[in-house]
Amino acid sequence: MKPRSIFLILIILGGLLPGQAFTEENSTQKFLYKTAFGICLHDYGPISDRHETGVDPNLELQLNPPDWKPWRWLGKPYPTFGLTPNFNGDTSAFYAGVTYEFSLSNELLNKFTFNVTKNLFIAGGVGLAIHNGPLHKDEEDCERRSDCGFGYRVLPRLAVELGYKIWENQGISFFYDHMSHKWVLPGENEGIDHIGIRYYYIWDVPSTN
């Protein structure tokens, strides 16, 4: 799948979802929870082999959890869809999964940190990513330099984030994600890291009334 194709998918999805969120002003729960836009270093991170390069944009949509009993059993994570295209001719990815978000606000911590933790949160995501990178490369180069193919078109993806709310519904965060199939599936396993910063906007801010 070309970067232009998956970029178009997310633009269309992003155009539809906010519209629904605004037309349901009288509902108790809006459909769209958060949108995020980030700039990430491509194939750069704590476990990256840095065989690819670039500075990639990241676009992400998080939906409000559905009011289903099985979803509540899972801890009510946010359904998540996103895109990280690469314009250097390397690997682009479209992903889907769930995100768990936890506030770091605590009465004791807030006093100790002069209310800095009042606006801090951590988040973790898990899901699947579909990418356009090479599935297989030269076997000798793979063994000598760990410059391998991805092995599979769809890969597991993990993400972590530390964010700070600047205003009630806006903020910034440090973001990291990794996609690979190590310890899950056999075969070549290149893997890709992204690390960077993101701006986010929360559409459905809980009422304080």
Domain-embedded: residue 209: no
Residue 93's domain spans which residues? 3-18+33-202
Per-residue pLDDT tens digits for 190-204: 999 999 999 999 997
What is the spatial distance between Cα 172 and Cα 165, in angstroms, rounded to a whole number?
A: 7
Please indicate whether residue 57 or residue 11 has the higher confidence score (pLDDT): 57
Give the mean model confidence (pLDDT) for residues 69-84: 92
pLDDT band, very low/low/confident/very high, at 35 (cuts 50, 70, 90): very high
Give the mean model confidence (pLDDT) for residues 152-158: 97
Whether residue 173 has pLDDT greater than 90: yes
160 Cβ contact partners less than 8 Å away, ≥ 6 residues apart: 122, 123, 124, 125, 175, 176, 177
Domain-embedded: residue 93: yes
Domain-embedded: residue 24: no
What is the spatial distance between Cα 79 and Cα 31, in angstroms, rounded to a whole number?
A: 10
What is the spatial distance between Cα 69 and Cα 186, in angstroms, rounded to a whole number?
A: 35
Please indicate whether residue 115 or residue 94 has the higher confidence score (pLDDT): 94
Domain-embedded: residue 28: no
Per-residue pLDDT tens digits for 85-110: 999 999 999 999 999 999 988 888 88
Give the mean model confidence (pLDDT) for residues 157-182: 94
Domain-embedded: residue 51: yes
Q: What is the CATH number of the domain that holds 153?
A: 2.40.160.20
Domain-embedded: residue 197: yes
Mean pLDDT of the chain: 85
What is the spatial distance between Cα 42 and Cα 142, in angstroms, rounded to a whole number?
A: 20
Whether residue 153 has pLDDT greater than 80: yes
pLDDT at 9: 52
Domain count, the chain: 1
Domain-embedded: residue 23: no
